[in-house]
Copies of this chain bind each other. A is one copy, B any other.
């Protein structure tokens, strides 16, 4: 199957939007950005064997490749609009491509995102995605902006994806709910939009809570306290791994793609209501302090020293 058949297959399955004047099929896409909004752009690449296990299903790879990018738009409180796809394949495999597109395009359609371009190359399996969205300038959710006294919030639950990887590595049976969190992360787009005007600063947890929170704190010039007892934990994780075993996963493991954000305490009720309206669980896990650094407190108030403070990863796709 030559490249043009690949592109034709992708093109015939891509849907369009009214703001796409020219999509797949020319030297570049022609797109209309709404007046009064900023363009928001992010890109993340997933490499086989590094960012997903080699035996991951093609549809899961397709889902995840777009999800991790939409997660970055969510973390800016942006409305997703378009994406491009750079697909490097060791061979032209129609079944693989169809499965991949099933996962990729289902998520794209769910978020009204049009695939407007890309390229296909021969090489080791690698998927590069660039996403584009919109946000009014005053409503963008940046890393800078956290203020001492802010409540520290987190959507969803933490540690499920890292638990799936850890259990898998130990050849322990893995609850499919945990595996689904690793392979099919939910980008918190609706939550990001709901937080417009409410949150001071935010980031998505892709590299681990301590690592990603660290970026917010560094950008904002503040510190934080986290209460271990308040870390939101799924029932599946609680059933699989005891507290002391899961804390390092929840603090240091990546791939959760939850939103971590800070907001003034006066916004507490508004945030609870806004996220309930988009069916997104959310919880306060600590607060922002003026003094730099992160203090993690156990339930008895003693300081907890993480055994794994956000693994240093040359490998993670990182959107800076």
Residue numbers of A with Cβ under 8 A of B are 1-4, 6-7, 11, 21-22, 24-33, 35, 38-47, 49-51, 72-73, 75-76, 78, 82, 84, 86, 88, 92, 116-124, 126, 128, 130-133, 135, 137, 140, 142-144, 203-204, 219, 312-320
Contacts and interface: CB of A to CB of B under 8 A. Distances in A.
B41 A132 contact: yes
A68 to B, nearest CB: 10
Given A92-B314, A123-B47, A314-B122, A40 B28 contact: yes
Contact of A25 (B27, B116, B120, B320): B320
Contact of A50 (B21, B39, B123, B203): B123
Q: Which of A73, A123, A124 has the most CB of B within 10 A?
A: A123
Given A31-B41, A43-B84, A320-B117, A314 B130 contact: no
B38 A31 contact: yes
Given A28-B78, A38-B32, A76-B26, A314 B120 contact: yes
11 contacts: A4-B312, A24-B320, A26-B219, A27-B204, A30-B140, A31-B38, A32-B39, A41-B132, A43-B119, A86-B128, A118-B319
Contact of A27 (B32, B88, B143): B143
A45 B273 CA distance: 44
Contacts of A126: 88, 123-124, 126
A26 B78 contact: no
Contacts of A140: 22, 30
**Copies of this chain, how many?**
2
A76 B21 CA distance: 13
Nearest to A312: B2
B38 A30 contact: yes
Q: Which of A82, A140, A320 has the most CB of B within 10 A?
A: A320
Given A119-B318, A121-B315, A316-B121, A41 B29 contact: yes
A80 to B, nearest CB: 11
B31 A76 contact: no
Contacts of A315: 3, 121-122
The 3 closest A-B pairs by CB, nearest first: A28-B42, A47-B123, A27-B75
Nearest to A92: B314
A121 B50 contact: yes
A56 B142 CA distance: 39
B124 A124 contact: yes
A89 B118 CA distance: 21
A82 to B, nearest CB: 8
